[in-house]
Structure 1
Amino acid sequence: AARRGVHIVADNAGVVKDVAVEGLYIHDVNGTNKRKDNGGIIFRTNGNKTPSRFEGLTIARNLIWKVDRSAIAGVSYHAMRTRWNPSLRVVIRDNHVEDIGGDGIVPWATDGALVEHNIAKGCNKRSQTYNAGIWPWSTDNTLMRLNRASFTRTTMDGQGFDSDYNSRNTIIEYNLSHDNEGGFLLICTPGKRNQAENLGNQGTIARYNISRNDRTRTFHAGGAAERTQVYGNAIYIGPGLDVQLVLIADWSGWPKGLEFRDNLFHSEGTARYGHEISRAKDGTYGLGPGWGPAEGVVFSGNSYEGNHVDKPEDKAPSKAPKALKESDWNWPGPQLDPAKPEKFASYIKAHRAWMVRLMERQHGVKLK
């Protein structure tokens, strides 16, 4: 059965203003893994009679542990473009979600959502289907920054982060992704679609992130995403890992305009590059050299350290970040036992500071 810790619903209510869901401990929600709209905190807009949305929704400082299927997720009648009525001023901040059946944090039908300083650990543990850590769907102008996604399970997606379809201008910056079975970042949209309802994936920017020991594939560009920029990221592939660092794949279409510039690709294992030539039932891909039918794939000014197979042509001088020394990391940073919620407030404060310091060290910037 569908079960939810908190269910926030704007049901044919017009504009619902200034809702806050803060400081909760939500755990052991035994929902169904067959539906995304249940689990920890679900926010829903239904406007089949009166178009409805939130203007001001804050989900902050919540500890969510052992819930199925989604930790924090939106659902909306207004997600497709023929009914588009996005919620505004949505902020998802300072939450820790752990041991999640499916997705971690997924805003739907929003414009200008801010997703920052969240930790998603151990997502996609039980659903046995496609899920990821932190990702928007059917959104415009989402900013995801200073989040940490780790130990996402399986290769059915299984990435820490995702820029998904029916979305424009998603920015993914200063995030930390590590030890995710499916990789760091998925960027996807089907090529064949009803374009009145689904405008695809346009203008994704992934910049200044860190990926450490993500498995299977680091960057997975699936389908007909357009105008994607990936720059200034620091990618670390650990000893013994064999990873498709860039995988370009078919989803009834191929990417158009995909630029990788000034990234650090630091491989102590094996890093591979290429396009899909086969796909298995577990969501993994066979890789062939080159970019297949994809158009406008450009590599410029990246730094390639260690072992790289079918390395792309890249002649520009590099402005990529420099590799951190092990002493720079202070790894693995602050940790939380989710069975001890009384430690949550001090943990979130310490984790915020640790993340900012790590990003400042890696990228040589000063962050607020």
Structure 2
Amino acid sequence: MWVAAGLLGVWVAGLAAPVAAETYHVNALTGDDRADGTRPERAWRSLARVNAFPLKAGDKVMLTAGSVWRESLTLTRSGTASAPIIVAATGQLPRPRIEAGGVSPHGVAVLNAEYVTVSGLEVTNDTPGGVAGTESRFGILVSAQDRGVTRGIRIADTYVHDVRGTNARKDNGGIVFQALGPKRPTRFQGITIERNIVWRVDRSGIAGISDQVTRANWFPGEQVVIRDNLVEDVGGDGIVPRGTDGALIEHNIVRQAGARAPGYSAGIWQWSTDNSLIQLNEAAYTRTRYDGQGFDSDFNSRRTTLLYNFSHDNQGGFLLICSPRVDDRDNLGNRGTVARFNVSRNDGTRIFQLAGNVTDALVEGNVVHVGAALDVQMVVATQWDGWARDVRFRSNAFRVAGTARYGREAGRSGPDYLIQPGFAPAEYIAFDGNSFLGRHIGVPQDPSGRYDATYVAPPADWDVPVFDPARPEGFSDFLIHHRSWMMTMLQRELNAPVRLQQAQPISLFEARR
């Protein structure tokens, strides 16, 4: 009996002993798939060798700089919270590059795996002629299906460009994370997408996808962070998380969204979420008037906060708040959106659009500059299976060198709304303490408002930092410079310190079910 117990103890101890993590090297120029990969001089050659290898928690895969692969990288093994699987670049030459065009729907994929980090890579997925294709394509795809909660995903410091998916679908493009649960509810808990360059992609820049987003089928992702990314020249939408609770979308730069896709697009927005915090972002040069705003608080969402953002030169305007008819199964409408301390400059068409079933919204302390050549709808209520109700505009500065109009939809002309004075049948659209400077038509009653038709815009520093995504070197320095410029500009425009917030999920007592 004592011998048996001793053997059992040895066996249990053997099970508990951790297997040492390893570092594997991959070099497309000098590697050999017959090697063991554990030293640079014994590197593997192909990504197929990585895909087939049983990586374990704590393993690192180092892709050698200067390497180019015409195949995809597919990761299906999980790490742990204390020992993630890491794929990164090594060496001083150009980033290791994965060219998936014509050989795979994705350049990099993390499939049904958790605690995985991918960083330092260059990824393309182009089509002949560099035009949008007819099939879904991804630069980087993170996908979880029928596996419950998926944790610990990080996509960082990648350079994703020339991904030509189809503009007929929103669920493909540069970086896409999707949680699908037709058999078992599935979500992400802890996914971070930060410091990436996403350039010349179709249809979406950075997009979250979920099928657990309806009022009756609610299993939102948590601890979702999208931060410090540059998204430029996008067929459709720039950044769109879906089906999340307490997501943070902070200090991203989205320029030239809506460049090619038909239908409706916007720069930065969320869809079917609770407590999203969208702060310190720049959205600019959105190139459509079908929506076409820099920012949007959308369908089936509660308590979205847009704070300290900068919107400029977007064809469709600054901010859309919208949702269609309330439905007991699918949609509770758009409730409790707060847009506070944002700056809009030279946005076109519609500065604030209230579309459909919007309730309990607050637009407060924003500064809007309308250029001399612009004739815009400053606040317009439009119909989408209903009308807005209980929206307060408080202490905003509407500084108009051109013309600003107010009213409600009276008809459509393509992407544009014909308006007439007054907001009815929208109800309780209230104004208090706003500044109406310059030329305003149909201006609403504001008991404590300030009116000055002689406004002349003073000179100011609007030299926004720019970055050429064709030259990704120096991106970290650009992010630092851009954040500093944003903070300085916001303090000047708002005449107050900038105090960023922390994202917080809905409390247990406010949960949807």
* TM class, shorter-length: over 0.9
Q: Say whether 1:250 aligns with 2:383.
A: yes
Written as runs of structure 1 = structure 2, the 5 A alignment for 1:23-102 is: 23-102=157-236
Q: Distance in 1 between matches of 2:263 and 2:429?
A: 30
Report the alpha carbon displacement of residue 165 of structure 1 after superposing the two structures with TM: 1.0
| Whole-angstrom CA distance in 2 between matches of 1:324 and 1:271 | 15
Match of 1:332 in 2: 463
Aligned twin of 2:79: none
Give how far 1:58 is off: 0.3
What's the Cα RMSD here? 1.4
1:52–1:85 Cα contact (<8 Å) kept: yes
Q: Any residues of structure 2 matched to 1:201-212 within 5 Å, and which? A: 201-212=334-345
- Which of 278, 288, 292 in structure 1 is aligned with 2:420? 288
CA distance in 2, matches of 1:113, 1:291: 32
1:349 match: secondary structure: helix
1:216 to 349, 353, 366: 349
Work out whether 1:316 is the aligned partner of 2:448: yes
How far did 1:93 drift? 0.2
Offset of residue 323 of structure 1: 9.7
The residue number in structure 2 matching 1:199 is 332
Code of the aligned partner of 1:134: I
Preserved CA contact (<8 Å) 2:401 2:456? no
Consecutive aligned runs of 4 or more in structure 1 exceeding 6 Å deviation:
none
Q: Which amino acid aligns with 1:279?
A: R
Larger mean CA deviation between 193-202 and 271-280 belongs to 193-202
Shift, 1:211, TM fit? 0.4
1:342 aligns with 2:473: yes
SS in structure 2 of the partner of residue 341 of structure 1: coil
- What SS class does the counterpart of residue 88 from structure 1 fall into? strand
Measure the CA separation in 2 of the matches of 1:149 and 1:20: 24
Distance 2:350 2:253 in 1: 21
Aligned residue for 2:243, secondary structure, equals strand
Selected match of 2:277 from 130, 143, 161: 143
Gaps of 5+ in 1: none
Q: Aligned partner of 2:378: which letter?
A: L
Q: Which of residues 487, 491, 511 is equivalent to 1:360?
A: 491
CA distance, structure 2, for counterparts of residue 310 and residue 362 of structure 1: 26
Shift of 1:274: 0.3
Structure (1 or 2) with the larger CA radius of gyration = 2
Q: Give the drift of 1:317.
A: 5.3
Q: Say how many residue pairs are matched.
A: 361
Q: Please, which of 380, 400, 412 is the counterpart of residue 279 of structure 1? A: 412
Matched, 1:6 2:137: no
How far apart are the structure 2 equivalents of 1:323 and 1:113?
A: 39
Is the Cα contact below 8 Å between 1:29 and 1:68 reproduced in 2?
yes
Aligned mates of 2:157, 2:244 — CA distance in 1: 23
Q: 1:168 to 1:366 in 2, by over 3 A?
A: closer
User: 1:189: which partner in 2?
Assistant: 323
Give the drift of 1:333: 2.1
Q: Do the aligned residues in 2 keep the contact of 1:237 with 1:270 (CA within 8 Å)?
A: yes
What is the identity, as a one-letter code, of the residue corresponding to 2:421?
P
- Residues 121-132 of structure 1: pairs in structure 2 closer than 5 A: 121-132=255-266
Which SS does the other structure have where 2:487 is aligned? helix
Number of the residue aligned with 1:267: 400
From 354, 363, 369, the counterpart of 1:236: 369
**CA deviation after TM superposition for structure 1 residue 294, in Å:** 0.7
Compared CA separation, residues 88 and 258, structure 1 to 2 (3 A): same
Shift of 1:326: 2.4
Which stretch has the larger CA shift, 23-32 or 352-361? 352-361
> Which amino acid is the alignment partner of residue 303 of structure 2?
N
Q: Following TM superposition, by how much is the alpha carbon of 1:366 offset from its aligned partner in structure 2, in angstroms?
A: 3.8
Q: What does the per-residue CA deviation read over 1:202-246, in whole Å, with 9 as the maximum and x for residues that have no partner?
A: 000001000000000100101110111101000000012100001
2:478 is paired with a residue whose SS is helix
How high is the TM-score relative to the length of structure 2?
Answer: 0.69
AA at the equivalent of 1:295: E
**Secondary structure of residue in 2 paired with 1:345:** helix
Contact 1:222/1:255 (<8 A) preserved: yes
**Which has the higher mean CA deviation after the structures are superposed, 107-116 or 309-318?**
309-318
Number of the residue aligned with 1:297:
429
Cα pair 2:308 2:498 within 8 Å, conserved: no
- Gaps of at least 5 residues in structure 2 are 1-134, 501-513
**Which whole-Å CA distance do the structure 1 matches of 2:438 and 2:328 have between them?**
43
Letter in 2 for 1:71: G
Match of 2:248 in 1: 114
Q: CA deviation at 1:258?
A: 0.8
Q: Is the 8 A contact 1:234 1:323 kept in 2?
A: no
Deviations 1:165-186 (A, max 9, x none): 1100000010000000000000
Secondary structure class of the residue paired with 1:26: strand
Q: CA deviation at 1:345?
A: 1.2
2:270 and 2:296 in contact (8 A); partners too: yes
Q: Which has the higher contact order (CA 8 A, sep 6+)?
A: 1
Query: Please, which of 307, 316, 321 is the counterpart of residue 439 of structure 2?
Result: 307
* Alpha-carbon displacement from aligned partner over 1:67-126 (angstroms, at most 9, x marks no partner): 000000011111112211001000000000000000000000000000000000000000
User: For residue 433 of structure 2, what is the amino acid of its counterpart?
Assistant: G
Q: Is the 8 A contact 1:323 1:362 kept in 2?
A: no
